[in-house]
A and B are shown apart, each in its own frame.
Chain A
Amino acid sequence: MDQASVIINRLSESFLINCRLFALTLLFSLPLGLLIAFGSMSRFKPVRWLMRAFVWVIRGTPLMLQLIIMFYGPGLLGMSIAWPNGDAGRFTAATVAFVINYACYYSEIYRGGIESIPKGQYEAGQVLGMTKAQIFFKVTLLQVVKRIIPPVGNEVMSLVKDTSLARIIANKEIIMMAGEYSSKGLIWPLFATGIYFLIFIGVLTILFDYLEKKLSYFRT
Chain B
Amino acid sequence: MAILEVKNLGKFFGTLQVLREINFSLEKGEIIVIIGASGSGKTTLLRCLNFLERPDKGSIIVNDEIIFDAENPATQKENEVRKKRLHFGLVFQNFNLFPQYTALQNVTLAAEMLAKERFDYKQNKKAILREIQDNGEKLLAQVGLTDKLNSYPHQISGGQQQRVAIARALALEPDILCFDEPTSALDPELIGEVLNVIRNLADRHTTMIIVTHEMNFARDVADRIIFMDEGIIVEQGTPQMIFENPREERTKQFLTRYSENKDFSPY
Contacts and interface: CB of A to CB of B under 8 A. Distances in A.
B110 A130 contact: yes
B96 A129 contact: no
Given A128-B110, A130-B113, A219-B99, A123 B152 contact: no
Interface residues of A, number: 22
Contact of A127 (B50, B109, B113): B50
B141 interface: no
A131 interface: yes
A143 B99 contact: yes
B99 A129 contact: no
A146 B83 CA distance: 31
Interface in A104-138: 118, 120-121, 123-131, 134, 138
A129, A130, A139, A217: which has the most chain B beta carbons within 10 Å? Answer: A129
A8 interface: no
Contacts of B110: 125, 128-130
A220 interface: yes
A142 interface: yes
Given A120-B94, A127-B89, A217 B52 contact: no
B109 A124 contact: no
A44 interface: no
B168 interface: yes
Contacts of A191: none
A218 B110 CA distance: 19
B161 to A, nearest CB: 12
B113 A138 contact: yes
Contacts of B52: 123, 126-127
Contacts of A219: 99, 152-154
A120 B85 contact: no
B131 to A, nearest CB: 18
Given A130-B110, A130-B113, A138-B109, A124 B86 contact: no
Nearest to A134: B113
Contact of B100 (A118, A129, A218): A218
A125 B112 CA distance: 13
A220 B114 contact: no
Interface in B198-223: none
Contacts, number: 64
Given A124-B92, A129-B172, A131-B82, A220 B109 contact: no
B51 interface: yes
Interface string B76-106: 0000001101101110101011111100000
B44 to A, nearest CB: 13
Given A127-B52, A127-B85, A143 B100 contact: yes
A120 B92 contact: yes
Contacts of A217: 100, 152
A218 B154 contact: yes
B167 to A, nearest CB: 12
Nearest to A129: B86
Interface in B153-202: 153-154, 168-169, 172
Given A218-B154, A219-B154, A127 B82 contact: no
A118, A128, A138, A218: which has the most chain B beta carbons within 10 Å? Answer: A128
Contacts of B153: 218-219
Contacts of B101: 218
B104 to A, nearest CB: 14
Contacts of B94: 120
Contacts of A130: 82, 110, 113
Interface of A: 118, 120-121, 123-131, 134, 138-139, 142-143, 146, 217-220
Given A129-B83, A129-B85, A217-B152, 18 more contacts: A123-B52, A124-B92, A124-B96, A124-B98, A126-B51, A126-B85, A128-B110, A128-B168, A129-B86, A129-B110, A130-B110, A138-B109, A142-B100, A217-B100, A218-B99, A218-B101, A218-B152, A219-B154
Interface of B: 50-52, 82-83, 85-86, 88-90, 92, 94, 96-101, 109-110, 113-114, 152-154, 168-169, 172
